Homo-oligomer: A and B are copies of this chain.
């Protein structure tokens, strides 16, 4: 018998529902001849040049306890280290003489090979000592990093109620998994933007819950972008008459409100208020997934294609924080029904697998209980890396939070530049000039939706098939994209709105690469036209 035959009876009842819904098109017909040097506008990975750390140097010991000053460290310090705070108690050293720990700690870190950021200094209580970051810690997170995040939430996205809390997780995927495992099961219906990040849809279905699509407007009008509030309102008002009447009324809304993936749409403040009001009326919770929220920029201006307010020095950190950033649902939340998921993946780097969840104290305590019996703490190495880099920057700013946001602005500036370069290059193409496609204006994030204007393709009847055909043509032309339809919660529901592809300017190696990609996109779209005309 095969392993599968023998061991399938041992699988738990929940295994069947656990399967990643991938938006990658894995099967390419043999007839398609891939380009030898494809350019990837598909993968939503930040360019490595956006990572704040260029190199890492480790001092490796040859044998245990070779560490500088090690013998002077005391168990008292070990224990206090777990809170990132040092004790000033007198302790007894190996030779029996009493020593003051402050002195010992600084002695220890006078080792030249250790740079400031890894030093424990009384005047910099925000830093996490290396032994703390390397040691076991509690599930919630290391205190200095937690303290930073609490203050950062108050600074950037202050909730409108008091009893909120935070816990860390191992990246947004883990955050969302924990949130949905805590709030969803087979009896639950979850509202999701009709096009969304497929792995999160898998997180939802893995709990047994049913995700149902909400119509979204993929448009340039900043007031109209994103969730169709009227559609949502009507659906909820008339639930029992809807096609979903056999399902329980939605208890959760999952949304990526800013720089939505894959549409690039950003919800206006007015829409956020309306959606929050609906949540209050129909009593559902809002799960706000905001990995791209800090990557804001103005709408692309063909008259001034290289306009970059960051480079132009038009934003102070406070302006950016108060006027440029979108208002989080958290800041509209007065009753504790919003759960916000933030991650350091896009603004520090993804390899950290480090994120945090903000919500009301009660729900966070339940998510924390789940963490206690599953992953436990996020990597202490990752927590220490982020925390201590921010603490290294902090002295030049009024607060560590401002220091962090000013780095984030530098990253946002790069995204502004890259969006500008790609849009300018796309506008210069023949296919664009012929009106065969449009770029939906985006004001945040890593993604743009390129919509094919099928009214210009008179001979094409089956748009879905044509999009798939275009996808293969682009593989031959050498540019990788993601088809919107592959990120649809329900292909049938979204069929009329699936005539777009997701492209990202996040990962390209250079401006030149994006310019070359634009040419290839145009060539591919013109080929689609030619093929269809020939037909």
A351-B354 Cα distance, complex, nearest whole Å: 13
- CB pair B174–A374 under 8 Å, yes or no, is yes
A382-B350 Cα distance, complex, nearest whole Å: 12
Question: Which residues of B lie under 8 Å from residue A49 when comparing CB positions?
Answer: 64-65, 67, 70, 73
For residue A184, which residue of chain B has the nearest CB? B12
- CB pair B410–A6 under 8 Å, yes or no, is no
Cβ of A33 within 8 Å of any chain B Cβ, yes or no, is no
Cβ of A259 within 8 Å of any chain B Cβ, yes or no, is no
Known contacts: A56-B130, A134-B53, A336-B3. The answer to whether A369 contacts B15 by CB under 8 A is: yes
- CB pair A68–B39 under 8 Å, yes or no, is no
Selected contact of A135 from candidates B8, B45, B114, CB within 8 Å: B45
User: Of A210-218, A442-450, A505-513, A524-532, which binds chain B?
Assistant: A505-513
- CB pair A79–B173 under 8 Å, yes or no, is no
Question: Which residues of B lie under 8 Å from residue A68 when comparing CB positions?
Answer: 54
Known contacts: A55-B111, A61-B52, A111-B55. The answer to whether A40 contacts B75 by CB under 8 A is: yes
A470-B70 Cα distance, complex, nearest whole Å: 33
Selected contact of A374 from candidates B10, B45, B177, CB within 8 Å: B177
Question: Which residues of B lie under 8 Å from residue A57 when comparing CB positions?
Answer: 56-59, 113-115, 118
- CB pair B56–A58 under 8 Å, yes or no, is yes
Question: Which residues of B lie under 8 Å from residue A362 when comparing CB positions?
Answer: 2-4, 6-8
Known contacts: A12-B181, A64-B414, A65-B414. The answer to whether A379 contacts B353 by CB under 8 A is: yes
Question: Which residues of B lie under 8 Å from residue A185 when comparing CB positions?
Answer: 12-14
Known contacts: A58-B55, A58-B117, A375-B173. The answer to whether A15 contacts B182 by CB under 8 A is: yes
A19-B367 Cα distance, complex, nearest whole Å: 11
Interface residues on A, range: 35 or more
Cβ of A158 within 8 Å of any chain B Cβ, yes or no, is no
A143-B199 Cα distance, complex, nearest whole Å: 22
For residue A513, which residue of chain B has the nearest CB? B75
- CB pair A61–B53 under 8 Å, yes or no, is yes
Cβ of A188 within 8 Å of any chain B Cβ, yes or no, is yes
Known contacts: A6-B336, A55-B59, A379-B382. The answer to whether A14 contacts B181 by CB under 8 A is: yes
- CB pair B51–A183 under 8 Å, yes or no, is no
For residue A351, which residue of chain B has the nearest CB? B380
User: Nearest chain B CB to A519's CB is how many angstroms away?
Assistant: 14
- CB pair A12–B183 under 8 Å, yes or no, is yes
Question: Which residues of B lie under 8 Å from residue A134 when comparing CB positions?
Answer: 48, 51, 53, 349-352
A86-B48 Cα distance, complex, nearest whole Å: 15
User: Nearest chain B CB to A529's CB is how many angstroms away?
Assistant: 27
Given contacts A11-B366, A94-B512, 18 further A-B contacts (CB under 8 A): A3-B360, A7-B336, A10-B285, A40-B79, A47-B78, A49-B65, A54-B60, A54-B61, A57-B115, A64-B414, A77-B509, A92-B512, A96-B512, A132-B351, A136-B351, A351-B379, A353-B376, A382-B382
Pairs A–B under 8 Å by Cβ, sample size 6: A11-B182, A12-B182, A50-B64, A52-B60, A351-B381, A351-B384
Q: State the A residues within 8 Å of B (CB).
A: 2-4, 6-8, 10-15, 18-20, 37, 39-40, 45, 47-61, 63-68, 70-71, 73-79, 89, 91-92, 94, 96, 111, 113-115, 117-118, 130-137, 163, 170-171, 173-174, 177, 181-185, 187-188, 199, 202-203, 206-207, 251, 285, 335-336, 345, 349-354, 360-363, 366, 369-370, 372-382, 384-385, 388-389, 392-393, 410-411, 414, 507-510, 512-513
A-B pairs, top 8 by smallest CB distance, nearest first, are: A351-B380, A379-B379, A20-B372, A3-B362, A57-B57, A134-B351, A49-B65, A55-B114
